[in-house]
Structure 1
Amino acid sequence: MFRKLQNLMENHAETSEQHVDERLRTHYFKANKPEVMKVIKQILDEDTNFHELGFSEERGEVTFEVRQPKSAFVVISVVTVRANRTAVDLNVSTESALPFNFGNNQRLIVNIYEILKEKLTFVGTSMAEKL
């Protein structure tokens, strides 16, 4: 409980395999890395609040700025873990005068995952040990 409250107060949020918040666990999709990268590129091109800063399909890394509702810097990491199984992790940071962001970073991560789930076949979360 304390950790969840602490996460709401930080200017940084990221996903991981065993995150205390289930919504922020690594998401796996039934697709290869180029397919996932293509969908991410489409999302960035379609949303005017996203400003692409870097896109490396070779490294499986995308960086972009979010302009509204609150400015943020996002890094998406895409890793193929086996044939037709790809993991997606996100890292979101904000700069502000206040030392907390009231969960905006976490909401952004959840929103991006929801968009990916609409466009790709979602397999599950925290699957590294099962693969």
Structure 2
Amino acid sequence: MSFRQFVAKYFGNHAETSERHEDPSLKTQYYKTTKDRGLDYLEKLFNNDERYKVNAISREHGEVSAYITKGKRAFIVGTVIMVRPYRTAIDFSVTTESGMPFDFGYSTKVIQQLYQQTGKELTRLDEPNERQ
């Protein structure tokens, strides 16, 4: 991890996944599902856990937003994009809400936990160019 990555991870209050992220744990993950099933899963994930409160669901944009209400507060946006049939990308963006301008890596940890939970329910596709 470079110094810039270290500073961004621990001394910022925002983390998000992307296709070409330097941190392997923050790279976009792909699942063998459809956009609608992916959105349904995220909605169920946030509704069935008392730590989260769903803010809004936009099926046409493929987004679910929620708040973490227990413990350290944060705002989460989960985005579901179907790349091709049964190959769907799920990305997360997390912003920690606190009086300090940094969260010591909490937002990154939230994304890692969300991906871990998602991997238990949906079939993960390991390679970005993997064909089904």
Q: Which residue of 2 aligns with 1:13?
A: 15
Structure 1: runs of 5 or more not aligned: none
Q: Which residue of 2 aligns with 1:90?
A: 92
Kindly state the Cα deviation for residue 39 of structure 1 after the two structures are TM-superposed.
1.0
Q: Which residue of 2 aligns with 1:99?
A: 101
TM-score (norm 2): 0.91
Q: Secondary structure at the match of 1:38?
A: helix
Describe how 1:1-131 pairs up with structure 2 within 5 A. 1-6=2-7, 7-124=9-126, 127=128, 130=129
Structure 2: runs of 5 or more not aligned: none
Kindly state the Cα deviation for residue 4 of structure 1 after the two structures are TM-superposed.
2.8
Q: Secondary structure at the match of 2:70?
A: coil
Query: In percent, how many aligned pairs have the same letter?
Result: 35
Deviations 1:13-38 (A, max 9, x none): 00001111100000000001111111
Deviating above 4 A after TM superposition, structure 1's stretches of 4 or more consecutive aligned residues are: none
Give the total of aligned pairs: 128
TM-score (norm 1): 0.92
CA–CA distance in 2 between the matches of 1:3 and 1:77?
26
